[in-house]
A and B are shown apart, each in its own frame.
Chain A
Amino acid sequence: MNSFGVVVASTVEVGLRSDQEIVKLRQIVRDEAIAQGFSLVDQTKFVTAASELARNTLLYGGGGDATLNVLLNGTRKGLRLTFVDKGQGIPDIERALQDGFTSGSGLGLGLGGARRLCDEFEIQSEPGKGTTVSITKWKLR
């Protein structure tokens, strides 16, 4: 993934320590997606992906932080959302990305689903140290 020429135009940080804060994050992401002129379907996809990952951060990461960036690449606009937690980490990322796999009580759709709903998806995790997940959606021109 080539990030050459990508400029971060703005940054908002949101703490994720309760399910109320997941709702707050959804609203912030929705407002920014509207402000950047994303289509309704793309807004909905990105907000849904944000909600899935925020819940993972809360449930499996023991809480953490989300950072929302507005990206500019020439005339192209995008939104990037990065989730950071210092939880137990994911021992097998490939397995965690498979639909239906969960170490908790959910449906196991969160990670794989969030990846499908966005244009770019990156995940780094170290067992015992934490997980960082980043999703990006570019506005269609």
Chain B
Amino acid sequence: MDRIPILRMGDCLIVAIQVDMHDRLAIALQDDLTARIVKDKAKGVLIDISALDIVDSFIGRMISNTAAMATVLDAQTVVVGMQPSVAITLVELGLTLTGVRTALDVERGMALLKQRQR
């Protein structure tokens, strides 16, 4: 089965979701990320969703859950690059990603992770 690659930079993990994810792929990513947080002793996780042109309740839940799991594993999560049309749709759908930190782009997201580790 396909997997979404997870890159490590220092003590951060970086994921750029570049494909239209089917549900099993989203669950696999959640499993892989939590395993890598522990294995790499990561302190931060950055998820770039700029290539996603929809986030439905399933993917939204995956993102929320991943952030919650990361917190329990002592890592911070930042979601970056959400398209404006996706943000509008998510809120209207009823999903506000409570508890998930966001930033407009990768640079700002990394800065946020660095700042919070101090």
Binding site for B on A (CB under 8 A): 19-20, 22-23, 26-27, 30, 40-41, 43-45, 47-48, 51-52, 55, 99, 106-107, 109-110, 112-113, 116-117
Q: Check A107 against B95 for contact (C-beta < 8 Å).
A: yes
Most buried by A among B21, B84, B86, B89: B89
Chain B interface residue count, Cβ-Cβ cutoff 8 angstroms: 23
- Min Cβ gap A52→B in Å is 6
B: which residues have CB within 8 A of A? 20-24, 53-58, 60-61, 83-86, 88-89, 92-95
Residue in contact with A23 in the complex, picked from B20, B57, B85, B92, CB distance below 8 Å:
B20
6 A–B contacts, CB within 8 A, in A order? A19-B22, A41-B84, A48-B89, A55-B58, A109-B94, A117-B89
Contact A117 B54 (CB under 8 A): no
Q: Is the interface of A mostly helix, strand, loop or mixed?
A: helix
Verify A112–B94 contact, CB threshold 8 A.
Answer: yes
Which 10 pairs of residues, A with B, have the shortest CB-CB distance?
Answer: A113-B93, A44-B85, A19-B22, A51-B56, A19-B23, A109-B57, A41-B85, A109-B94, A40-B85, A44-B89
